[in-house]
Structure formats: C-alpha cells, structure tokens
Amino acid sequence: MSHATHTIPTLRETYRRMLMAAGSEAPAVRRMLALFALGAVAQGLAFACFFPLLRALLAEPADLTQAWIWLGVMVAATVADLILGWLGHGFEYGGAIADVTHDLRRRLGRQLRQMPMQALARWRTGDLGAVLGGSIDEAVAPMGTLSHVIIRMLVVPLVVIAVTLAIDARMALAMAVIVPMAVPIYRWQRRASGQERRDVAEAHGRTESDIVEYTQGLAVLRTLGQTGAKAQRLQESLAHLREVQAKALMAGLWPALLMAGLVEIGLLVVLALGGTWVTQGTLSLAAFAAMLVIVMRFSEPLALFSELTKVFDLMEVALQRMDQVLAVAPLPVTAPAQPPSDHDIAFDGVTFAYEGENAPALKDVSFHLPARSLTALVGPSGSGKTTVTRLIMRFADPRAGTVRIGGADIRSLSSDALAARLSVVFQDVYLFDDTILENIRMGRPDADDAAVVAAAQAANCHDFIRRLPDGYATRVGDIGGSLSGGERQRISIARAILKDAPIVILDEPTAALDTESERAVQKAIDALVRERTVLVIAHRLSTVVGADRILVFDDGRLVEMADHRSLLEAGGRYAALWTAQLRSKAWHAAPVPADV
C-alpha cells in the first residue's frame, strides 16, 4: 500500500500533517511557524523602509535626520527579524527536532504493535521499514528550514506591497503584478512536476522497500539458490525509479523556466512602468529606486522555488505515509465483562470475511476447546484453518459471533493481555539479526540466560546451538542460511517454551521439513504442548491421531468434530481424507512416528 493519494495536498493539509507528526511538540511547531511569520513581517517592514530612506537621501537638500531615523528603523526591523528567526530555529537546535523524531519512531512503533493485524498485512514489510526509517527523517528534518523559507516567500512580498500601498498605490500595483502571475504558475508547477516528483518519492520508497526485503532475505535466498526473482524485482524497481526521475526532470523544466522568467518579466514591468512615470514626473526617482531594490530582493527566493518544492514534495510524501500508518484505528477494547477464568477457547457462531472479500472465510463456526486439551484442525487447503487461529489472535474481529478465552470475549482483552496468553509457531520462522540467545529470549525479555538455555534444552536445540561457532552468542546474520528449517523451527519453539503462555497455536510447523527434522521438531513440540491448551494445524494426519479432538473444516464450515477413532467410524470427510493420505506416496515416505 505505498500509493499515496494522487492529489496535491494543500498547504493547510501539509500544516495539519506537520502538527500530527510533531505530536506532543505541536505547540512548539506552531510557535516556530508564528515566529517565522513575525520575522517575515519584520523583514517586509525593513524592505519597505527603503522608500522613505531613499526619499530623505535624494531630497534637495538631503534630509539626513530623516534618513538616520529610517535607517534606524530598518536596522531595528532587520535585527528583530534575525532574533525572531533565531528563536524560531531554536525548535531545531533546541533538540525539539530530535525529540519529535524520537517520539514519532516510538508512536509509529506502538502503532505497529496495536494496529489490527489485518490492517498491518496491507503493507509490505519494506514499506513499513521505510516509514520507520527514512520517512521520519525526510518529514521532520527539513520542517524548520523549509517552513522558514516558504513563509518568507509568502509573507515578505505581501507586507512590502501593503506598506507600499500606503505610500503610492500605483507602485504597489506595479509590484503586485508578479503575484497574480505567480499563483497560476505555482499551481501548474505543483500539478505538472509535483505529481511526477511524488511519483519519484514513491518509487524511492518502493526501491527502499525492495532493498530492505532483498538484503534481509539475501542469506536465505542464496542458500535456496533463489536470488533471481527478488533481484529481478529490485532491478525493475531501480529501472522504474530512473524512468520516473527522468520524467520528473522533464515535467519540472518548463514551469521552472517560466517561474524564473516570471521574475525577470516582473522586474522588466516594474522597470518600464517606473521609468515611464519618472519621465512623466509623476513618480519620484527615490520611490523608483526603492521599488527596484525591493522587487529585486524579494524576487530572489522565487528563483529557488523549483528546488524548494522538490524538498517540499519529499516532505509531503513522507508525512502522508506516516499519516496513513498512524490513522489506522486500533481494534476497540470493550470493558471486560469478566476476566478470563481459565484458558479454554470457545467459538460461538463465528462468521468472518477478510477485508474486501465478499465470501466469508468462516461460516457460523462454533466449538469449545477445554483448557489443557490438544485439538487438531484438518481440512483441505483454503478451508479456513489458519483463519481460525488468526481470529484467536484477534487478527480482526468476526462479522458475527464471539471468540472467547476463559469465558471472556477477546474483544475485552487489551492486545498485550491477549498476546501474553498465546504462543504461536508458524511454518515460516523469522529470526532477528541478533544472537541465538537473544532470539530465544524474545519469548520472555526478562528471562535470565539460564532460563533461555533451559528452554533451548527442552526444545531440543541445545546440542546444535553448542556446535555453532560461538554457541549461543552466534549472530544469526553471520551464519545466515546455514541453519536448517528444522533448526529454525526448534529455536522458535524454544521461544514459545520460554514464553510459557497457557495457549499454544501451531500452524503447520513441520510442513516444510524432511522426516528427520520433523522428528526432532516433533520432540520439541511435545515439550511445548504439555499441560497447555493446544491448537495444531497439521498437514499430515499421522500427527493428529493422538489429539483429544479433531475439527474438520471444509470451505469455511466446521463439518466434523470428534476424536480420531470416532471420526473413522463415522466414515465422513475425515475418514475420506485419512484413506486418501494412506494411499498417497507422501505417506510411505513419512511413516507414522511412534510417539503421536
């Protein structure tokens, strides 16, 4: 979901997003902008002083007292401008920028933890990485300097024109001639090159994501000999980036030239009109000279305009991206009717459809799993098994029905309280680029080393970890893909054992493993599931025969529920699946392990 909305945000929206990004520092940002605006007014006044100053100097005879007074006012206004600007920039130098950046990282991090998993799944990992990393800096770092320059460009001409209006209306109009021309050109530029530049910013984001994903997975991809596909995607991103960059340069060229031309034209208009009026005797030479100086001064920044909007566009795209992430509301937590009394799991008439899908993935599913029992979910691929486990984790809320743990609706549990009760082991294991010890400790961050090692022993991974170059201190990144799937799986089980949550969910943990690793992992699983409420999705029916209860799913419906023996005797869906697997080749390759 990296596509930003394809409209150019107004200054007001950008202002709102800036305040949003600033969070608790929003008053400081407002103060900074107010100081810059006041500074710009002071600078405009200083420019406007040129006129009375030159009039006093060019009078016959020169009025030196007047000249000194106006020079004094001018210097005072300039000093005021400098002080106000300095105070305004205090926002950056005073550490507020660092605070805002830090605070934003924390807020975005918290948001990622609290966001409904369904919403989280809409983003690519790399995109989120880019939001947490680059976007924050792109959005926050230029805030001060950029708003200073932009406020100046807007306010100074207005003040100068207003003051001049009081002195000589014609002259003010001559100066103002640039403004009505600048506005449509500004709009044109923002629309023409703005869009292209935002495309560039987005292509940048996408490339960044691809790089993050490519490099993260590099070790694994290399061992699997699959660098090709991801590398190709990265190549495509890079090519796309070059393309939009070239387009943006072309699209920005004409408006930029026109804007620069406009400044020249403005000067020429002022020169021509003023010159005519001076020769006609209706405008004093002093006023004319002052006007030229002023117009030259305030048209200077306009030449920088094009460069400026480039940074501005980058900032806007970054702000927008963060806004999108922060705008997702967490799932509401209702007041608890009663705290969970035990760790049994109940589905009561649960119907659920994924966001944007019409057909429900689960249809009116009801079951009750007593605490400390082992339940297996079976059924063809796509029948809704994983969805059941996701709803227990509150991936999203069901359309109808209730999911209860220990009698309490899980909607009444905080996300932390819910997470604390669940351990989850998936087919794919993500290991962080940290030591093996820390990767296991993640299960319970306050566990001491001895507890981590004990969990590793229970998960049947102590021996292979000790054989690693640095034992438990080996960094995952250093050995990369040399850990086998079964070893990674056992590390993730050690995590879960250490976490010691009362409910354990296993989603096809051994599906990708060969028979030997499967045995080792199965031993680890046996240690994990003891005395817990366990839900296991198994690809091989051989692993489910010992379950207390087997739930058979078909096309989103719970079609059978009993133990292995009763289901076979009933001769329904399960019996059919069982016979089919008995006949399949995979079955002979993987004989029933004795301990299930």
Ligand X SMILES: Nc1ncnc2c1ncn2[C@@H]1O[C@H](COP(=O)(O)OP(=O)(O)O)[C@@H](O)[C@H]1O
Check binding of 14 to Mg ion (CB under 5 A): no
The sign of the torsion formed by the CA atoms of 85, 87, 93, 99 equals: negative
Residue with tokens 């106006």: 70
The angle at the Cα of 454, spanning 452 to 460, to the nearest 5 degrees, equals 105
> By rule CB under 6 A, what string of x and - marks binding of each residue 315-354 to ligand X?
---------------------------------------x
Between 361 and 436, whose beta carbon lies closer to ligand X? 361
In whole angstroms, give the CA distance from residue 442 to residue 63.
Answer: 80
* 61: preceding bond cis by omega (within 30 degrees): yes
Query: Which range of residues in 112-120, 297-305, 379-387, 462-470 is near Mg ion by CB under 5 A?
Result: 379-387
Judge whether 543 and 371 are in contact, CB under 8 Å.
no
What residues contact 507, with CB distance under 8 A and at least 6 apart? Answer: 385, 386, 389, 424, 425, 426, 427, 537
| 2: partner contacted, choices ligand X, Mg ion, none (Cβ within 5-8 A by kind) | none
Kindly tell me which of 395 and 472 has the beta carbon lying closer to ligand X.
395
Write down the residue that tokens 């029905």 correspond to: 401
Give alpha helix (H) positions in 328-461.
385-392, 415-421, 436-441, 449-458
Min separation Cβ 385 and Mg ion, Å: 5
Q: Name which of ligand X, Mg ion, none residue 426 binds, using a CB cut-off of 5 to 8 Å depending on partner kind.
A: none
Going 136 to 138 to 141 to 146, the CA torsion angle's sign is negative
Residue with tokens 């406009």: 262
Closest approach, Cβ 208 to ligand X, in A, equals: 24
- Other CB atoms within 10 Å distance of the CB of residue 114: 16
Q: Shortest approach of Mg ion to residue 378 CB, angstroms?
A: 11
Residues 158-187 that bind ligand X (CB under 6 A): none
Out of 111, 135, 386, 522, name the contact with Mg ion by CB under 5 A. 386
358 near ligand X (CB under 6 A): no
Tell me whether residue 214 or residue 354 sits nearer to Mg ion (CB atom): 354
Q: Is 385 in the site for ligand X (CB under 6 A)?
A: yes
**Residues touching ligand X: how many (CB under 6 A)?**
12
Structure tokens at 98: 């660092």
Residue 309 vs 383, nearer CB to ligand X: 383
Binding mask 121-160 for ligand X (x = CB under 6 A): x---------------------------------------
Using the rule CB under 6 A, is 357 a contact of ligand X?
yes
| Tokens 């080749």 belong to residue | 585
- Among residues 147, 306, 383, 435, which is the contact residue for ligand X, using CB under 6 A? 383
For strands 503-507 and 533-537, give the pairing. parallel
User: What does 361 bind: ligand X, Mg ion, none (CB cut-off 5 to 8 Å by kind)?
Assistant: ligand X
Of the residues 94, 349, 382, 546, which one makes contact with ligand X according to CB under 6 A: 382
d(CA 5, CA 188): 18
Q: Which of 111, 147, 189, 387 lies at the binding interface for ligand X (CB under 6 A)?
A: 387
Distances from the Cα of 284 to the Cα of 266, 402, 570, angstroms:
20, 84, 108
Nearest to 17 by CA among 114, 110, 116, 104: 104
Whole-Å CA distances, 454 to 450, 463, 476 = 6, 12, 20
From 10-18, 50-58, 384-392, 471-479, span contacting ligand X (CB under 6 A): 384-392
Could you say whether residue 488 binds ligand X (CB under 6 A)? no
Residues found near ligand X in the complex (CB under 6 A): 121, 354, 357, 361, 379, 381-387
Give the footprint of Mg ion on this chain (CB under 5 A): 386
